[in-house]
Amino acid sequence: MASFDSVNYSIRPSKSVQRGIVFDGLRALCASMNLHDTVYIGFGSIWFTDFLMAHKVLGIDEMISIEASPVGYKRAEFNKVYRSISVLEGRSDERLPEIAAQVEYQARPWIVWLDYDGALDEQKVEEMRWLLLNAPPNSIVLFTFSATQNAYGARPAQRPGRVSDILGAVVPDDLTREDCSKENLPQTLATLTMDFLSSVVADNARPGGFIRSFQIPYFDSVGMVTVGGVLPGLGAAPAARAIVAEQSWKGIVDEMIEAPPMTLKEVATLQAELPFAGELTRDRVQELGFDLLEHQIRSFQRYYKYLPSFAEIVA
C-alpha cells in the first residue's frame, strides 16, 4: 500500500523526530561541506513534507519526486508544493539511472532520501548498491524501510536467515532470533544495513569512502529504520568526517525513538518541565497527573524539540 493511501505520514510523532534529526544533520553537513547547487531526490508522495524541509531548511530549489503508481503520479503533480519540483512517474530503480545519465545532474551533489513503505528486500538492497556506486561526489544518501518482524519471516526461526539472504556476508553467522525480535530488529537492521552500505563503498574502492551519518530506528505503530551517510569527494571528506565525529552529532541514535502520541495538554504540561538537566522520572509524570512508560518519557525528553503539535479541526 502506498503511503498516500494510508495516513499523512507527516503527523506521525516519531517520524517527525526522525525527520527533524535528519534535516538538522543535513543542514550541518551541507554547511561543513560547502554544498551548492544540490539536487534533492525522494518520494514526495502527495504530502511533500521532506521536500518542504529540503527547500526551507537546506535552501534547495531543484527537487525530483519519483512516483511509481499512475494515480499517485497524477495526485503528486496536483499537490506539489513548489514549481521547482519535478515529478517523475515510474520505479526509482528505473528513474534514478535516467537522472544520472543527464549531464546537468552528473556534477552536482545529490541528497537522495528513498523513504520506502515496505520492508527491506533484495530489490531495495540492489537499489542502495546502485546509488552508492553511482551518486555524484559529495552526495548524501538516506534510506528508510520497515523493520516489522513478520516481514522478515512469519516464524522467529526464519528471520536471521532472511536478514542474511537480504544483506549477505555482512550479517554475522551467529545472528540470533533474539537479535531479530520485535524490540531488537530495528536496531539490528539499522546496524547491519549500515555495515552493508559501508562495505559496498569500501569493497568497490569508491574515492572518498562512505561516512556513516544517520542510523535512526524509530517506532510509529511499526518499527522503522532510517540509515544513510555521506559519499564525499576527496576534498570534502575531512570536513564531513569531522562534523559527524562531533559529540553534538545526533544522527546516530542508540535507542529506538518511540515518541508517544500525546494530547496538547500532556505535551504542554511535560514541556513546562523542560529543559531539565536530570532525567524526567515516571514518578514526576504521575505527580503531574498522567502517566507514560519510561522509554516514552526518555524519548520525549530527548526529542521534544522535534515533536509536532496536532489538533483536529472540526469544521
Partner 1 sequence: MIPVEKSKARANPTKAFFVRMITRDITLEDCIFDLIDNSVDGAWERAGGRPMSLNNDTDLSAYKISIEIDQNRFLIKDNCGGISLDDAVNYAFTFGRRDDADTENFSIGVYGIGMKRAVFKLGSSIDITSTYVGDDGLSSFKVPVNVSDWLEAGNSSWDFDIDEADDLDEPGVCIEVQDLSEATAQSFASPRFVQDLRRAIARDYALHLHRGLVIDVQGKPIKGWSIEMRQGGDFSPMRESFKEKIDGEDVFIELLAGMEALPPDDSDPEGDWDENQNQSGWYVVCNGRIVLAADKTSLTGWGTDNWPQWHPQYSGFMGIIIFSSRRADLLPLTTTKRSVDATSPLYRRYRSHMREPSKTWIAYTNARKQSEREQVAEKESKTKAVPIFEVSARSEVVLPQVSAKKRTPEANVSYSVPKPKLLRLATALGNIRMTYKDVGLKSFEYAYDDLVGEE
CB of 312 to partner 1, least distance (A): 37
Instruction: Kindly state whether residue 41 participates in binding partner 1, applying the rule CB under 8 A.
Output: no
Q: Is 16 helix (H, G, I), strand (E, B) or coil?
A: helix
Residue 39's contacts (CB-CB under 8 Å, 6 or more residues apart) are 60, 62, 63, 64, 105, 108, 109, 110, 111
Q: Rg of the chain's alpha carbons, rounded to an integer?
A: 20
The 177-216 contact track toward partner 1, x by CB under 8 A, reads ------------------xx-xx-xxx-x---xx------
CB of 200 to partner 1, least distance (A): 8
Instruction: Kindly state whether residue 165 participates in binding partner 1, applying the rule CB under 8 A.
Output: yes
Q: Which long-range contacts (CB under 8 A, 24 or more apart) does 87-90 make?
A: 87/44, 88/64, 90/66
Give the footprint of partner 1 on residues 265-304 (CB under 8 A): none
Give the footprint of partner 1 on residues 227-246 (CB under 8 A): none
Instruction: Kindly state whether residue 148 participates in binding partner 1, applying the rule CB under 8 A.
Output: no
Instruction: Kindly state whether residue 77 participates in binding partner 1, applying the rule CB under 8 A.
Output: no
CB of 240 to partner 1, least distance (A): 15
Instruction: Kindly state whether residue 313 participates in binding partner 1, applying the rule CB under 8 A.
Output: no
Count of residues touching partner 1 (by CB under 8 A): 28
Instruction: Kindly state whether residue 116 participates in binding partner 1, applying the rule CB under 8 A.
Output: no
If you search the block for the grid coordinates 515496505, which residue do you land on? 118
Query: Measured in whole angstroms, how far is the alpha carbon of residue 238 from the centre of its chain?
Result: 24
Among 4, 43, 152, 306, interactor with partner 1 by CB under 8 A: 152
Cα dihedral angle (225, 93, 122, 3), rounded to 10 degrees? 40
Q: Of 104 and 203, which CB lies nearer to partner 1 in the complex structure?
A: 203
Q: Of 123 and 296, which CB lies nearer to partner 1 in the complex structure?
A: 123
Q: Omega of the bond prior to 137 within 30 degrees of 0, cis?
A: no
If you search the block for the grid coordinates 503533480, which residue do you land on? 77
Distance CA 306, CA 300 (A): 9
Instruction: Kindly state whether residue 1 participates in binding partner 1, applying the rule CB under 8 A.
Output: no
Residue 31 has a CB neighbour count (10 Å cut-off) of 12
- By CB under 8 A, name the binding residues for partner 1: 121-123, 152-155, 158, 161-162, 165, 168-174, 195-196, 198-199, 201-203, 205, 209-210
